[in-house]
Amino acid sequence: MKNYETMIVFDSALEEEKVSTKLQEVERRVGEGGGEMASTDRWGKRKLAYPMGRKEQGQYVLLKYSSAGSQIAEIDRVLRLDETVLRHMTVVGPDEALVQAAAQAAERAAQRRTRARDDED
């Protein structure tokens, strides 16, 4: 299973409880495929970068989860058919092993720079 991140922009006129219901539906779809939700980040109402129809604001939600690739198409289909979703996008999230390797490489580079400064003094 891979890690995924899905950003959803809901209509700003949508009530909080309806947003929660729609998010539960997405979470259920993730679970059906054997996936697991990592986090749900509600960013709240924000101004859109450009008007979509007559809408100038949207409710932003970022979902992070791991799932089989086959489930992504189903989640995409559900979001595409939902009229209250203004936009959505799913991307492959960072692999935890790569994130840890990058952090370790950055730490080693910082240690080398510190040693080089110490040697100059």
The pTM is what? Answer: 0.75
pLDDT band of 84, cuts 50, 70, 90: very high
What values do phi and psi take at 18, rounded to 5?
A: -75, -35
Does a structural domain hold residue 113?
A: no
Domains contained in the chain, number: 1
Residue 10: pLDDT over 70: yes
Residue 19: pLDDT over 80: yes
Domain carrying residue 45:
2-94
Per-residue pLDDT of 33-76, as tens digits, reads: 888 999 999 999 999 999 888 899 999 999 999 888 888 999 99
Residue 121: pLDDT over 70: no
pLDDT in the model for residue 93 = 80
82: DSSP letter = -
Does a structural domain hold residue 117?
A: no
pLDDT band of 97, cuts 50, 70, 90: low
Which CATH number fits the domain that encloses residue 82? 3.30.70.60
Residue 118: pLDDT over 70: yes
Reported as half-sphere exposure (CB side, CA atoms, 13 A), residue 88 has a value of 25
